[in-house]
Amino acid sequence: MKVNYSFTALTPLFTGGDENNGTLRTLRREKRLLTNPVKFKSVFNNKIERTKALMNLVYPVYTNIDKNLKADNYGFYEAYANKVKAALATENKKQFLNKLLESCGIVVLADGSSQLVRKTLDKFSDVEFLETMREEHQYLMILLREYVSWYRSNEGKQIGAQMSIWEQQTEPLIEEIEFIKNFENVPYFGGNSIRGYLRRVMMYDYCKLAGVSKMNKDTYHQLFTGGNITDSTGFEDIAKREKYIEMCPAIGLLGSAIGNMTIEGEMKVIGARLRCKENGTGDLSFWQLIEQNFGTRLDSSKREKEIEIVNNTEQKSQMIYQYENFITGSVFDSAFVLTTEDELIISAFWRMMKLWKENNFIGGNSARDSGMIEIAMDIPENADAKYLKYISVKSEEIKEYFNGKTN
């Protein structure tokens, strides 16, 4: 049985990224082959000329940032790199500039810088500017350090002056640059992430329905986290496995590792993919459907008036952090596949879907106003009745089974 469904973000969504870029936590991504590859021919004579043009935007904007923010702040290069990346989540080059200037606290660029930036943007089409910046933005940050060093050692040089790092042959290289992108790393929610959340919701409800209020640690992990192998895997006790599923039908649905056995669940979970151009399911690029949120963890002890703070030896207790989000209104498609015809396990599945609609969250950062969704799924009427009746009838046996369980 296959159950297709979709959900819409009611708040920003965070996948629970497994990758940290300095202070930035990025969304989990998967590499996928694009249905419609991105193709364009460059208007520049060569790649060096194009990179120089991009630096005629990156560096002038950097120089217009308040000097007090950059002074003695080694991590500011990293912060600026994240601001550039965040600005790339826009539709065109002008929106990019607006977002970058706003995030850097720049109201108006200085005269010389504004002319150079405007001329630079005029050279690019929207697609060439955004795609090249997305592909090369880390390299541009490396060049930024060299630019800063060069201008410091060549005081009096105007922004845009010919730099020694760009010295090349007297005859400019002419080459036809054709950009073709067949792959993209598109953010998504992994199936295991969805399964993990549903397991916790389902098992909490199961224990509440059956009246189970006490269990050992191994049993807790078997129910709530998927368990772990604790014994030799030389043979499996089939009767023990069947008894476990009898006492907890949701284990037959979700699976678990118990003692020396691995119980394979009957539910396959498909990851949730964003409706976007890159996935071939939407009109907008995923870049337009993500954003970066910024936060600051402050040292509140510095503002404390009623309590004396002793042993205050720390110099700084403040950290700026950033994380990528899917924006509110983003839509995702996914599916569950059940590989059983067992009516009790199917009924348990529908109970889990009802619980998910009631506890309608996904991903991480739910304590920071993230993760709430609206789930579009047709659940048959009274589809969970068989499961609820079974747990009610078996509740005393279930409590006795888990209260006396040692492994």
pLDDT of residue 155: 76
The rounded Cα 337 to chain-centroid distance in angstroms is: 25
pLDDT of residue 4: 97
CB-CB neighbours of 55 under 10 Å:
21
> Cβ(96)–Cβ(88) under 8 Å?
yes
At 392, list the tokens: 């009610």
The per-residue pLDDT for range 204-262, each reduced to its tens digit, is 999 999 999 888 888 899 899 987 766 655 556 778 889 999 999 999 999 998 877 88
Quote the CA–CA distance of 285 and 347 in Å, as a whole number: 38
Quote the CA–CA distance of 206 and 244 in Å, as a whole number: 14
Whether the model clears a pTM of 0.85, i.e. scores above it, the answer is: no
> Cβ(45)–Cβ(174) under 8 Å?
yes
> Cβ(21)–Cβ(323) under 8 Å?
no
pLDDT of residue 72: 55
Q: Write out residues in the chain with pLDDT < 70, as ranges.
A: 16-24, 71-74, 156, 160-162, 164-175, 229-236, 294-321, 404-407
> Cβ(41)–Cβ(33) under 8 Å?
no
pLDDT of residue 241: 85
CB-CB neighbours of 213 under 10 Å:
10
Those residues with Cβ within 8 angstroms of residue 55's Cβ, 6 or more apart along the chain or in another chain? 140, 143, 144, 147
